[in-house]
Amino acid sequence: MDSQENQQSINQPQPHPTHSFNFKLKSSVFYVSSILILVLAVSFSFTTTNFLKTQHLKYTFSLHPTLFQTLLEFIHPSKKTIQTQEPEPISLPLNCVLWMAPFLSGGGYSSEGWSYILALYEQNRTRSFRMAIEQHGDLESFEFWEGLPKYMKDLAIELYHTKCNMKETIVICHSEPGAWNPPLFETLPCPPTAYENFKSVIGRTMFETDRVSLEHVKRCNKMDYVWVPTEFHVSTFIESGVDPSKVVKIVQPIDVKFFDPVEYEPLNLASIGKLVMGKTTRNSRFVFMSIFKWEYRKGWDVLLKSYLEEYTAADRVTLYLLTNPYHSDKDFSNKIVEFVQKAGIEKPATGWASVYVIDTHVAQSDLPRIYKAADAFVLPSRGEGWGRPIVEAMAMSLPVIATNWSGPTEYLTEENSYPLIVDGMSEVMEGPFKGHLWAEPSVTKLRVLMRHVMDNVDEAKAKGRRAREDMITKFAPEIVADIVIKHVQNIFKKMD
Ligand SMILES: *[C@@H]1O[C@H](CO)[C@@H](O)[C@H](O)[C@H]1NC(C)=O
Ligand SMILES: *[C@@H]1O[C@H](CO)[C@@H](O)[C@H](O)[C@H]1NC(C)=O
């Protein structure tokens, strides 16, 4: 099949250049067709959620217009100034939870934020408090917004229009602490005004190294509570100086209905991937999938070294890397070839085992089909906050091989996966966490595990099934929503 043609089928349709509007957003452009769709969605949600509040959070902090605000101003230029005189519906509680996260960035905090608001919304008990959202903490990607399923967009628009009274509101700042008020970079601050104006302010964050830096500890201690996803974080935060009475473990939900293998047909991976090493594989015997941002932390070097040393073309195996740039250009093929040369990995006599890179934007709604096309998921990272692709793969019943350190120790077990033993710890050499430690996963052990998974398909499948069961019983949205609701209601009770 023509790969060009297939790439386009999962890409966004190319807009007509003369039909574009430029908003003041970095790298975001809106197009007529999508605006029309949104006009419909927005006008529906206005009729149900447009009620008056004395102190609107929204509309008072418009110094940095967010994607939603810009979008809505364009569609309903007058809405912002009109004070509707509709009376407050009596049935709606005053208590409010304002969830502020980078909902529109498409990154790790973004998908985590989505999983919480979807989970909370679906638990109808959220009616004991209102819920509102605001974009905060990272850039907006219109490509990501466009790729979201309609029910998610509708929910976002509805929650965006919910108005809250500051005094009745618990704010959840779901982002890296540098974005918390006062922010260290340009973003809508969280909380949007002074901390004491709100009923309570909670920071939700996590790190991928063995400690929390001093500046971040200070920011955590300004919060009433700090929610972290794992035991690993509870201990690293407290050891670093965060007030133990503020640290609460709240695990991350995974949408086990969306990530359900019985619902999907596999995507034709070869049609969207670029061949980097080896030959085009027809009838591959086994497909390994890895999904990560292109950064050293993700251990792509460990993965390539293990894979290319363990396998040859004769194994008829394929490795797919679904990746996107992280402070780097998109020329992943060259980076891989260069790495292989520098690392001195010798070309096997029968030729390289195949490696493909998928670097096109894959819409969220296509993601399960990517997992569905793989036989195993592998990610030897040096450190993870939670490891979303790992739990997504587990929910999709894939056997996973992942580093048994940091966040993933919360859910990896011998029964549900292949936890990868680490060789030891190594020092972070660059970036904001320079000098911290993280794990050095074992190349030798990874080779053994990859070979083992491929040679013991029945065992691997059984672990995959167990993985999905564990995701359902421990992290299904309704289970995690119950945990969140319990904490939120306790705070409301304590403060009343
Ligand atoms: C929750 O509320 C929605 C909207 O009112 C309703 O359609 C849905 O059936 C409710 N779900 C449950 C489980 O009660
Ligand atoms: C993974 O790490 C956890 C926490 O350090 C440890 O308790 C567990 O035994 C490890 N599992 C394996 C398979 O090494």
Give the number of whichever ligand sits closest to the CA of residue 120.
1
**What is the distance in A from the centroid of ligand 1 to the CA of 294?**
41
pLDDT tens digits, 152-180: 999 999 999 988 999 999 999 999 999 99
Q: How many C-beta atoms surround the C-beta of residue 203 within 10 A?
A: 28
Which ranges in 16-174 belong to alpha helices (H)?
32-49, 67-75, 108-122, 142-147, 150-161
Residue with tokens 């909902």: 103
Q: What kind and span of H or E run contains 293?
A: strand 286-294
pLDDT tens digits, 384-409: 999 999 999 999 999 999 999 999 99
Domain ranges of the chain: 3-253+478-495, 261-475
CB 399 within 8 A of CB 464: yes
Any idea how long the chain is?
496
| Predicted local confidence at residue 67, as pLDDT | 56
Classify domain 261-475 at the CATH topology level.
Rossmann fold (3.40.50)
C-alpha 427/C-alpha 145 separation (Å) is 37
Classify domain 3-253+478-495 at the CATH topology level.
Rossmann fold (3.40.50)
**What is the distance in A from the centroid of ligand 2 to the CA of 304?**
24
pLDDT tens digits, 212-228: 999 999 999 999 999 99
In terms of pLDDT, which residue wins out, 321 or 282? 321
CB 183 within 8 A of CB 173: no
- Region of 207 please: left (phi>0), alpha (psi -120 to 50) or beta: beta
Residue with CA closest to ligand 2 atom 9: 413
Residue with CA closest to ligand 2 atom 6: 409
**What is the distance in A from the centroid of ligand 1 to the CA of 291?**
35
> At a CB cut-off of 8 Å and minimum separation 6, what does 406 contact?
208, 209, 230, 232, 383, 384, 385, 438, 439
**What is the distance in A from the centroid of ligand 1 to the CA of 399?**
35
Angle at Cα 394 formed by Cα 143 and Cα 488, nearest 5°? 75
Residue with CA closest to ligand 2 atom 14: 421
Residue 463 pLDDT level (bands cut at 50, 70, 90):
very high
Ligand 2 atom nearest residue 414's Cα:
13
| Domains 3-253+478-495 and 261-475 equal at CATH topology level | yes
Give the number of whichever ligand sits closest to the CA of residue 417.
2
pLDDT tens digits, 30-56: 333 344 344 433 433 332 232 323 233
Ligand 2 atom nearest residue 405's Cα:
2
Q: Which residues form ligand 2's pocket by a CB distance below 6 Å? A: 404, 409, 414, 419, 421
**What is the distance in A from the centroid of ligand 1 to the CA of 306?**
49
Residue with CA closest to ligand 2 atom 1: 404
Residue 122 pLDDT level (bands cut at 50, 70, 90):
confident
Ligand 2 atom nearest residue 412's Cα:
1
